[in-house]
């Protein structure tokens, strides 16, 4: 398949325009239907800090404070993160439904549907055939790595940043040729992306890459209008950085715990090898999203200690292959080079390759990069379909992409169900990443909050077995122990004579406490009772 850039605009009633609209509608419907059930979900994870405990989003009179403070200041915590625009949208939601979560979830679903539509338009702008671009939008709507961004209200920042970046990319060509209101719109969209999340800065890299990879790049570089537009982008970026430093006091995120990102404890070479291993893992997750989790902190992803680590070698091989594809097909299929540059440019800020960031990895970090991945998959599939001569080969290509989409959709549906509550989410997490101390710790916290101290103790002991110096898990464990002792005071007074509870998990937890106190006889009695039930 040889792709060529398509016209910027087509007649409103042309078959091409109608096909783009049909595919856009299909992508939006798939996205909306897939996540519609989240409207009945509650709050999870950071939703509490960003919405429930944040009085700033309860009155429009707080708008200046939202733009003048960090993202969790309203809830009493400093984070060094400046993302005011998502809080502004929460203000709108609060006006609609107060602290009832349905309108917040509805907004996320609609934003994901809107982003899926723009993915179709970006594919068309890249020069992909309409069917390939449309398929890319549908695959984007379905992909399981997007569940966290859509199903959690705090995923709003990624949705907004991606929406604004795609809008900027789609308006850039017209802005640099026609200027005027189009230039103002593109610049405003860039500002919106920056105020939504730091990754919005990559919008500038994406439009620059598109111009540099364009056959008309020399004319673009010489154009006064294009230079003026880039000067406007640069002015917005500088103004944003000045405001951000003024509000946060820094350009980075200086305080990162090793439990959130184990790479902060490594020397420079170790961080690079591990970051490359994680980069390869991310690419693998996009292809086969079998392991998904809200948490990948210590020790879910073992660090790489050598460049000869098999994960590092595999990542380097994949990078080399993608770089070769970008160069090899740059002229015949320019969208290939665009997809490769898009993926790595948008992933670079959070990759830990430049600096150590707040997390080692997260599914949410793949939301913007996966635009390129989904369009590349659809472009390759369409090319195979067109190149296949026997009818059976074409049927096989259609079946392959159908199975891929169905598999992604089923996995998305499964994982979406885990986001209905914190307990369900971390029960999923400890199954997905059993070596994460934080996943076990958080599940223990939720069990304790739900008045299930015995189950909490078991999870907290697992968290401490993975990371004995995890002071956060140790503190929660002390609370669970106190609760169990209070609930079973008679047993601790007379360990051998008191009646025993029926629940096996309670018996096992009590046996652990008896061991801690040197009462091996009582612990043996409790374990025997647990084994017989």
Nearest-angstrom CA–CA distance, 389 and 394 = 7
Helix axes 130-142, 102-126, angle to 10 degrees: 150
- Sequence-separated (6 or more) residues with CB below 8 Å from residue 273: 303, 304, 305, 306, 307, 309, 312
Whole-prediction pTM value? 0.90
Chain center to CA of 383 = 29
- Sequence-separated (6 or more) residues with CB below 8 Å from residue 410: none
Among residues 452, 447, 443, the alpha carbon closest in space to that of 425 is found at 443
pLDDT of 254 reads 66
R_g over Cα of the chain: 26
Cα distances (angstroms) measured from residue 222 to each of 114, 183, 227, 236, 369: 35, 17, 8, 22, 30
Mean pLDDT for back-to-back runs of 10 residues, the chain (533 residues): 43 70 94 96 94 93 92 85 94 95 97 97 93 94 96 96 96 89 95 94 93 84 88 95 89 73 87 92 92 91 90 92 87 88 91 86 94 93 76 77 89 95 95 94 94 90 91 90 83 76 79 80 78 63
pLDDT of 4 reads 39
Q: Are 461 and 322 in contact (CB under 8 A)?
A: no
**Number of CB atoms found within 10 A of residue 245's CB:** 12
Q: How would you write 212-249 as a 3-class SS string?
A: HCCCCHHHHHHCHHHHHHHHHHHHHHHHHHHHHHHHHC
Q: Which residues of 32-50 are buried (b: 16+ CB within 10 A; e: fewer)?
A: bebbeebeebebbbbbebb
Q: How many CA atoms lie within 13 A of 413 on its CB side?
A: 9
Nearest-angstrom CA–CA distance, 48 and 288 = 31
- Sequence-separated (6 or more) residues with CB below 8 Å from residue 275: 263, 351, 352, 353
User: Which residue segments constitute the domains of the chain, with CATH numbers given?
Assistant: 422-531 (1.25.40.10)
Nearest-angstrom CA–CA distance, 64 and 302 = 43
Among residues 94, 92, 96, 88, the alpha carbon closest in space to that of 71 is found at 88
CA triple 85-70-266, angle to 5 deg = 110
Q: Are 374 and 133 in contact (CB under 8 A)?
A: no
Q: How many CA atoms lie within 13 A of 303 on its CB side?
A: 19
């Amino acid at each position: 398949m040889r792709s060529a850039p398509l016209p910027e605009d087509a007649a409103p009633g042309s078959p091409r325009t109608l096909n783009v609209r049909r595919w856009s509608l299909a992508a939006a419907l798939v996205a909306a239907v897939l996540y519609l059930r989240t409207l009945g979900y509650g709050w999870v994870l950071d939703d509490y800090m960003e919405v429930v405990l944040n009085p700033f989003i309860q009155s429009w009179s707080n708008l200046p404070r939202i733009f003048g403070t960090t993202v969790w200041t309203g809830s009493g915590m400093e984070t060094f993160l400046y993302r005011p625009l998502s809080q502004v949208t929460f203000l709108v939601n609060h006006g609609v439904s107060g602290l009832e979560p349905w309108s917040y979830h509805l907004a996320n679903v609609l934003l994901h549907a809107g982003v899926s539509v723009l993915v179709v338009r970006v594919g068309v702008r890249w020069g992909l055939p309409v069917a390939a671009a449309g398929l890319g939008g549908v695959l984007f709507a379905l992909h399981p790595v997007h569940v966290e961004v859509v199903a959690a209200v705090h995923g709003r920042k990624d949705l907004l940043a991606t929406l604004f970046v795609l809008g900027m990319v789609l308006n850039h060509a017209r802005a640099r040729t026609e200027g005027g209101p189009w230039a103002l719109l593109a610049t405003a969209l860039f500002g919106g992306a920056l105020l939504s999340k730091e990754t919005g800065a990559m919008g500038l890299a994406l439009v620059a890459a598109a111009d540099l990879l364009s056959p008309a790049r020399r004319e673009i570089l010489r154009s006064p209008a294009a230079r003026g537009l880039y000067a406007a982008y640069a002015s917005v970026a500088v103004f944003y950085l000045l405001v951000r430093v003024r509000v946060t006091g820094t350009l980075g995120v200086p305080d990162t715990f090793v439990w959130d990102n184990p790479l902060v404890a490594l020397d420079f070479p170790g961080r690079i090898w591990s970051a490359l291993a994680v980069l390869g893992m991310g690419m693998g997750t996009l292809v086969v999203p079998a392991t998904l989790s809200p948490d990948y902190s210590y020790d879910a992803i073992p660090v790489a200690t050598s460049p000869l680590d098999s994960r590092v070698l595999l990542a380097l091989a994949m990078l080399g292959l993608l770089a070769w594809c970008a160069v090899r097909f740059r002229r015949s299929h320019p969208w290939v080079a665009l997809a490769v540059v898009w993926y790595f440019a948008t992933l670079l800020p959070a990759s830990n390759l430049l600096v150590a960031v707040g997390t080692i990895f997260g599914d949410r970090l793949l939301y913007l990069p996966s635009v390129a991945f989904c369009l590349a998959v659809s472009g390759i599939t369409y090319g195979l379909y067109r190149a296949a001569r026997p009818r059976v080969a074409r049927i096989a290509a259609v079946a392959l992409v159908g199975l891929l989409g169905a598999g992604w959709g089923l996995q998305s549906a499964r994982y979406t169900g885990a986001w209905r509550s914190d307990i369900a989410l971390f029960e999923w997490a400890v199954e997905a990443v059993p070596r994460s101390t934080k996943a076990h710790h958080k599940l223990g916290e939720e069990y304790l909050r739900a008045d299930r101290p015995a189950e909490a103790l078991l999870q907290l002991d697992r968290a401490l077995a993975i990371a004995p110096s995890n002071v956060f898990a140790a503190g929660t464990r002390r609370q669970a122990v106190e609760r169990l002792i209070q609930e079973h005071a008679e047993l601790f007074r007379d360990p051998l004579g008191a009646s025993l509870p029926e629940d096996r998990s309670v018996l096992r937890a009590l046996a652990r406490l008896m061991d801690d106190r040197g009462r091996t006889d009582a612990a043996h009695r409790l374990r025997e009772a647990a084994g017989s039930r």
